[in-house]
Amino acid sequence: MKKCYFVVISIFIQFCISARPFCVSHRALGFGELENSIAAFRAAMRNDVDAIEFDLLHTKDGKTIVYHDKKLKRLVSGVNCPIGEKVKDLSLSQIQSHCRLINGEPIPTLNDALQVLSHGETKLFIEFKDKPRFSDFELIEEYFKNYPEKVFIISFDGETLRQVNMLRMKSPFYQNVATVKLQKFGYFSKFEDFDMVSAKYIHKKKVKCLQDKGKLVGVYTKDKDSKIKKYLKKGVDFITTNRPRRCLELIFSNKIF
C-alpha cells in the first residue's frame, strides 16, 4: 500500500486507502454512445464506471457547453448549423437553434450534464478547454454541494486550476475538490500547485517521486492492453481511457494492485 501525505483534500485519503487503481472513462466513451453526450453519460453511469471525464467550452455570450473541439465540425449536423465556425464565435442560441449532435441530441450545456451526472455515484473529471467562468464553479457547487469528493477540476492550463486554489480560501466546498494538472510529458514539471497529475508519458521514478510528495498520478489516454499494463506496472493511481471496462478487467486479471 502506498503511503500518502495530504493536508486538506480528503478525496486523496479515500483513494490512497482504496485497494486498486481506478479507470476514468474518457469523454464518457466505452459503452457504444457518442462522446460527451447525455446518452454516453447515462451509459457510463449504468455501467458503474469509476469516473467520467468530459470537456467544457464557452460560447460568444459566455455560456458553457459540453464539447471537445474548438470548431463545430466533427460530431454535429444541421442544415443551417455553422459547421466549421469556432464555438467562441457563436452564441448559445445560434448553436442550439441550428445544430445537433450526430446522435440526434442537442449539444448539452454544463447544466444539462450536471443534472444527469449529479444522480450517479461516479466521480467527475471536468476538463476546462478554455478560460472558466465563475458561474461554472457556482453551478458545480450547486449540484454537488454535499459531494465535493466526486468533483475533479482538470486542465492543461495551470491558471485555471489556480482559480480553484483561490476559491478554497472562501469555499469549504472547493477545499474538498481536487485539481488535476494535465501535462503531455510528466518528467520535468514540479506540480507543486496541483493535487493530482495526469500525463501522457511519465517515468516510473517520476510517478514514485510525485506520490511521495502526496500527489496522485495518472496517465491519458491509454487504450491498448499493452499500454494499460505498462502504466499500471509503473504504479499509476488512475488511467484515462476509451476502454474503461477493459481497463478494469486488466487491473483485476493481472492482480496489479
* Alpha carbon separation from 171 to 11, 86, 141 (Å, rounded): 16, 34, 9
Name the pTM for this structure.
0.92
* Alpha carbon separation from 240 to 26, 80, 182 (Å, rounded): 6, 35, 11
Which pLDDT belongs to residue 190? 84
Ordered DSSP codes for 204-215: HHHHHHHHHTT-
* Alpha carbon separation from 54 to 58, 151, 178, 191, 235 (Å, rounded): 14, 12, 16, 22, 25
* 10-30+37-49+121-253 topology per CATH: TIM Barrel (3.20.20)
Residues paired with 66 in a beta bridge = 56
Which pLDDT belongs to residue 142? 98
Q: How far apart are the first and last CA of the chain?
A: 8
* Alpha carbon separation from 183 to 120, 129, 199 (Å, rounded): 28, 13, 5
pLDDT per residue, tens digit, the chain (257 aa), is 344 434 445 555 455 545 689 999 999 999 999 999 999 999 999 999 999 999 999 999 999 999 999 999 999 999 999 999 999 999 999 999 999 999 999 999 999 999 999 999 999 999 999 999 999 999 999 999 999 999 999 999 999 999 999 999 999 999 999 999 999 999 888 899 999 999 999 999 999 999 999 999 999 999 999 999 999 999 999 999 999 999 999 999 876 55
Please report which helix (H) or strand (E) contains residue 155, including its range: strand 151-155
With beta carbons less than 8 A apart as the criterion, state whether 209 and 190 touch. Answer: no
